[in-house]
Amino acid sequence: MFFVSLIPIRSGSPGEDSERSDAARNRERLLVAARELLDECGVDSLTMDKLAKRAGVGKGTVFRRFGSKAGLMMTLLSDAEAEFQGRFMFGPPPLGPGAPPLDRLVAFGHARIGYLLEFGDLARAADQSVYTKLEVPATLLWHRHVELLLRAAGMTADPWLMAIFLGATLDPERLLYAVRVQDVAPERLAEAWTELVTRVVGKA
């Protein structure tokens, strides 16, 4: 009932069954071109027109494949995202199972901060889609993860909503803004997170 698939980002992997050969070829070309463009000019300067041109396909093909720019970013992010998901769900403690819930919560925030420092631009572009930001499967998954940790740590008052509140704190856009524009050291973010969740989970 609460299952969320582990790698639900988008079908960017070639494993997709029954795909025409030209479609597969073009998808591959597009992904290659997209990574090149990202290296060269960053997320914001990557336009769908440039991408189509670089990959040698029509613009329509780009959108058929990925649905939107956000969809493309999700695809590009899917490997890193899956790895991250694997770490907090199945990896070694304190991030993975085995450690006390509060320790896992703390570790989760730290890991997410690190993840966003590395892939935050992609994540920001993948999220931004006005009202669907929170409907991205990957987001649903880690929100639920936080909720379960809150419950395990003994929180009884609306852990679902509290997870959303805490999740707001780890928003890519805000975090990147803090680090890049406000010049907040990542360690400081991590400490504040520790402080926050420790107090929220309460007396421990």
The residue whose two tokens read 């003994």 is 154
87-106: contacts with DNA (CB under 7 A) = none
**How far, in Å, CA of 199 to CA of 181, rounded?**
28
* Site map 114..143 versus DNA, x via CB under 7 A: ---------------x--------------
**How far, in Å, CA of 196 to CA of 159, rounded?**
15
**How far, in Å, CA of 51 to CA of 23, rounded?**
16
Task: Work out which of 31, 61, 124, 147 binds DNA, going by CB under 7 A.
Answer: 61
**How far, in Å, CA of 190 to CA of 204, rounded?**
19
Are the CB atoms for 152 and 101 separated by under 8 Å? Answer: yes
Report if residue 196 touches its own copies, rule: CB under 8 A: yes
The residue whose two tokens read 């926050």 is 196
Report if residue 19 touches DNA, rule: CB under 7 A: yes
Report if residue 174 touches its own copies, rule: CB under 8 A: yes
Report if residue 204 touches its own copies, rule: CB under 8 A: no
Residues lying near its own copies in the complex (CB under 8 A): 130-131, 133-134, 157-158, 161-162, 164-165, 168-169, 171, 173-174, 177-178, 181-182, 184, 188-189, 191-193, 195-196, 199-200, 202-203
